[in-house]
Chain A
Amino acid sequence: MSEIVLETEGLTKYYGDSLAVDHLDLEIPRGCICGFVGRNGAGKTTAIKLMLGLLEPTAGSSRLLGCDSSALTPAIRQRIGYVTEGHRLFRWMSIAGLEKFQRAFFPKQWDDKFFTDMIEYFDLPKKKKIKHLSNGQRAQVSLALALAPNPELLIMDDPTLGLDAAIRRQFLEGMIGLIMREGRTVLFSSHILGDVERVSERIVVIDKGILRAYCSLEQFQEAVKKVIFTFADSVPNEVNIDGLLHCKRIEKQLELTLVGTDDEQIAEWAKSAGAENHTIVKMSLEDQFIEFTAPANQKRLFKWEER
């Protein structure tokens, strides 16, 4: 079994009475690229800050590279790259100044050429101050700063937030540059499922602080499915099928969103319910995620959606 680089055990965090992260259990092996997804306020940033020792857990623990998160030593931090949410950097510093600042903390492992190449690739002048950069440019600097020390573990908190499609692609390509290096582990949170789909091997889905799924991307894509049943007469009032997430009735059709239900079970239920036929609809990862994390009986924002 490969070495576990990031591990959390019953990680829990309360802010006063509000539960942000609820008994999070994760084990991320070395070399894994893991997408950490959840809706706004799901607890992604809190979980990441707990892992990095920036917050104290209310209960449970987490370990990075074998070291307890609440007591990360400077030597361990040196092996971890961190891209903060919103790419908050020192605004008065120039890119060159930030490079000098960051390099001081990674004296042996800093890759000057890699940093310069990345900055040139992103077409950023090194003399430019951070305060004069756009959000996307700050994201690029932030990524270059995190990647240049060649970290063993890279943790990124919503790195593509607020970036346009072109810059997001550049950003992901930069990230892939790190992934290409052997044995590097990446955990990145995002709410853009397309980004996750593009680079991740595994997916962590968190909802209201609770871990809803931790599996390979393929497993998740196979597990969540939408099935449309067509009935000759009326749609049954009660639906009893394993893994039912959501149920929607449209005239003589019944639309079910299911998780972990295999095709045989679906066929059996269709037969027992008297459905004329049924179709399994192919869903995008984004649709799967939305259906998977949507609360039951969620009201539609716009009334026309209910038609």
Chain B
Amino acid sequence: MRFSSLLHKEFRECLPWMLLAAILFVAVTSVLFQTETYSENNSYRFSRLSPGTVISSYKITFYPAMSETGPWLFFLSIGLGLALGVRQFWIPNFTGTWPFLLHRSVSRNTILAAKLTAASIAFACSIVPIWVGIYWYATRPEVFAVPPTFRFFIEGWIFITLGLVTYLGAGLSGLSTAKWYTTKIFGLAFASLIIITTFSQRSLVWVLTLIAVSAAILLSRIFDTFLRREF
């Protein structure tokens, strides 16, 4: 009951950002898909090719609409992670609500767990189902000339997990009471470094391992900082 009460409070605070991300993602992908489906633009594009024309296979397998959702998913995921991190760990510093929140008949671990769970639910209920829906739609027959591969789907998941890493980084920076030019910047800088490193890797296994390890590092730092911090 205590955890669910905390979770409800945290989730309610995440709700506006979660809805904003979901609405934006649906709106953007709808516009992109409307202009680039098999039955309309793709067929129109291919119909202009005269017999005997040599074209690159890349042109056939390339599905612009699907690939254009990638940057949107990436930026929305990073944006959502930043917004949730700021909402949960920065705003209470300014509103001065930490003492009221912390004087609960629960441990600090429980309070932090409620925050992390609420943020995970916010991700799981906003861009995750939309991404799954998009992939499901794009792989249906006659939507695209060549359906997107499973790798493409996994790359979307990587963007989503990078959003979670950003959330943890923003949370850690928000919790830190150090000066900006010292350790306060560590959370955000570490998350940025992981994002940059991820883009320079080609192996999905390596990328997923990197994200998992960095998330574990950030999580352990967040728990440690939250338990020790003075409010």
Contact = CB atoms under 8 A, between A and B. Distances in A.
Interface of A: 49, 52, 54-56, 74-75, 77-78, 80, 82, 84-86, 88-93, 100-101, 104-107
A74 B106 contact: yes
Contacts of B99: 49, 52, 54, 82, 84-85, 88
B102 A88 contact: no
Contact of B105 (A75, A84, A90, A93): A75
Contacts of B9: 90, 93, 101
Contact of B100 (A49, A55, A75, A84): A84
A76 to B, nearest CB: 9
Nearest to A87: B100
Contacts of A77: 103-105
A107 B5 contact: no
Contacts of A90: 9, 97, 100
Contacts of A105: 2, 5, 104-106
B95 interface: yes
Contacts of A89: 97, 100
A263 B103 CA distance: 48
Secondary structure call for the B interface: helix
Interface of B: 1-2, 4-5, 8-9, 12-13, 95-100, 102-107, 228, 230-231
A273 B213 CA distance: 81
A78 B105 contact: yes
Contacts of A93: 9
Contacts of B100: 82, 84, 88-90
Nearest to A56: B230
A186 to B, nearest CB: 16
Q: Could you say which of A56, A86, A89, A104 has the most chain B C-beta atoms within 10 Å of its C-beta?
A: A104
B1 A86 contact: no
Contact of A88 (B95, B107, B230): B95
30 contacts: A52-B99, A54-B230, A56-B228, A74-B105, A77-B104, A77-B105, A82-B100, A82-B103, A84-B96, A85-B96, A85-B99, A86-B96, A88-B100, A89-B97, A89-B100, A90-B9, A90-B97, A90-B100, A92-B12, A92-B13, A100-B5, A101-B9, A104-B1, A104-B2, A104-B4, A105-B2, A105-B5, A105-B104, A105-B105, A106-B105
Contact of B103 (A80, A86, A101): A80
A77 B102 CA distance: 10
Nearest to B1: A104
Contact of A74 (B1, B4, B95, B104): B104
Contacts of B8: 101
Contacts of B230: 49, 54-56
A245 B55 CA distance: 98
A289 to B, nearest CB: 26
A82 B105 CA distance: 12
A107 B1 contact: yes
Contacts of A85: 96, 99
Contacts of A82: 99-100, 103
A86 B98 CA distance: 12
A171 to B, nearest CB: 17
B231 A54 contact: yes
Contacts of B98: 54
A136 B154 CA distance: 54
Contacts of B107: 74
A54 B103 CA distance: 9
Contacts of A92: 12-13
A99 B11 CA distance: 18
Contact of B96 (A55, A78, A88): A88
A251 B140 CA distance: 102
Contacts of A52: 99, 103
A91 B97 CA distance: 9
Of listed B4, B96, B99, B102, residue having the most chain A CB within 10 A: B99
Nearest to A77: B105
Contacts of B96: 84-86, 88
Question: What 8 pairs between A and B have smallest CB-CB spacing?
Answer: A104-B5, A78-B105, A88-B96, A74-B105, A82-B103, A55-B230, A105-B105, A84-B99
**Which of B96, B97, B105 has the most CB atoms of chain A within a 10 A radius of its CB?**
B105
Given A84-B103, A101-B9, 17 more contacts: A49-B231, A54-B99, A54-B230, A56-B228, A74-B107, A77-B105, A78-B105, A82-B100, A82-B103, A85-B96, A86-B96, A88-B96, A89-B97, A92-B12, A104-B1, A104-B5, A105-B2
A55 B230 CA distance: 5
Nearest to A83: B100
Nearest to A155: B103
B5 A101 contact: yes
A85 B96 CA distance: 9
